[in-house]
Every structure is written in C-alpha cells, then in structure tokens.
C-alpha cells in the first residue's frame, strides 16, 4: 500500500497514511500494496461501499470526510452493486451518516 503523506496548513509533514490491512480482502482484484489513497480514491470508495462493512465505511468516512459526497458523485452509479447504491445515495446527502 502506497502511503499518502498529509501536510498541515503550514505545509509541514504531519503524518503518513495508508489503507489498514483489514481492507485487503476488499481488494482481491488488484495489487493492494500499490493503491494510493488519493490517486485511487474512486476505486477505494466503490470497493468499500460494495464489499465492506461498517468498520470499512467508517474508515473511509474519517479519511475522506466532507469530500466523500463529491467523490461518490464522480463515480458512475453502475460501479455500485444494487445493494450498495442506497448506501452511496445516503452518503452523498449526509456524510455524517458514516460517522455515527
């Protein structure tokens, strides 16, 4: 998993993040270690909504925060399984839903 470096508003290196190992089963279709949180955000979010559980959903909610609805809107609806589409719709309208 490629680590994403997070900077604070003074452009000082704050922390380095990557997907936790408990995400590995969701990414059976690709090289987990090469995923980048920003570059592959649509893939990460769609796979998480399609195959993840509450623990996964909370993690992406905490990481992507208020950007999550916008990112989900950029993902074609066909990328989501029928069962996951309703969850995606809820997240588009209320990002706080995932942080309950």
Give the model's pLDDT for residue 21.
Answer: 96
Q: Following DSSP, what letter does each residue of 37-99 receive, concatenated? A: TTTTHHHHHHHHHHH--HHHHHHHHHHHGGGHHHHHHHS-GGGS-HHHHHHHHHHHH-GGGGG
Report pLDDT for 4.
56
Question: What average pLDDT values come out for the chain (100 residues) when binned by 10 residues?
Answer: 55 69 96 95 96 94 91 92 86 58
């Amino acid at each position: 998993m490629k680590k994403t470096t997070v900077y604070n508003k003074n452009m000082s290196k704050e922390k380095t993040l990557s997907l936790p190992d408990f995400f590995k089963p969701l990414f059976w279709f690709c090289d987990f270690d090469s995923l980048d949180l920003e570059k592959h955000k649509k893939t990460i979010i769609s796979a998480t909504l399609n195959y993840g559980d509450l623990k996964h959903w909370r993690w992406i909610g905490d990481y992507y925060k208020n950007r999550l609805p916008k990112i989900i809107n950029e993902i074609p609806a066909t990328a989501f399984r029928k069962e996951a589409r309703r969850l995606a719709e809820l997240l588009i309208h209320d990002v706080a839903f995932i942080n309950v």
